[in-house]
């Protein structure tokens, strides 16, 4: 699978698997997202939204991955808003 065909979660799993020997869970991705600064979080969310804006396949695997992405995006957005309200 080429780099362009992988989604955000698959890229994070691959990178963390190479670095730490095990893939990063969506929960861990959200925890790491909290460590970003305001501008980096906003840029990451914009990039994530652009990825979600693409076409989706109706296969069960594709739909499952899409649900994971949408759930992660929601959690990251909620976390970003909470950190902004806390002026962080």
Mean pLDDT, rounded, for 50-65: 84
Give exposure, 1-35, as e/b (b: 16+ Cβ within 10 Å): eeeeeebbbbebbeebeeeeeeebebeebbeebee
Task: List the one residue out of 3, 42, 67 whose CA is nearest residue 33.
Answer: 42
**pTM across the whole model:** 0.79
Top mean pLDDT of 6-20, 24-38, 42-56, 67-81 is at 67-81
At residue 3 the predicted structure's pLDDT band, cuts being 50, 70 and 90, is low
Share of the chain above pLDDT 70, in %: 95
pLDDT given at position 62:
83
pLDDT at residue 82 tops 90:
yes
Mean pLDDT, rounded, for 17-30: 85
Q: Which tokens belong to 45?
A: 């969310």
Q: How far is CA 67 from CA 37, 47, 53, 63, in A?
A: 26, 17, 13, 6
Looking at every residue in the chain, the average pLDDT score rounds to: 86
Mean pLDDT, rounded, for 59-80: 90
């Amino acid at each position: 699978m080429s780099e362009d065909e992988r989604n955000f979660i698959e890229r994070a799993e691959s990178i963390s698997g190479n670095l730490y020997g095990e893939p990063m869970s969506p929960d861990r991705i959200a925890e790491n997202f909290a460590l970003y600064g305001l501008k980096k979080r906003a840029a990451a969310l914009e990039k994530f939204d652009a990825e979600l804006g693409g076409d989706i396949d109706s296969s069960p695997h594709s739909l499952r991955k899409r649900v994971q992405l949408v759930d992660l995006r929601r959690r990251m957005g909620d976390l970003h808003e909470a950190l902004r309200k806390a002026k962080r």
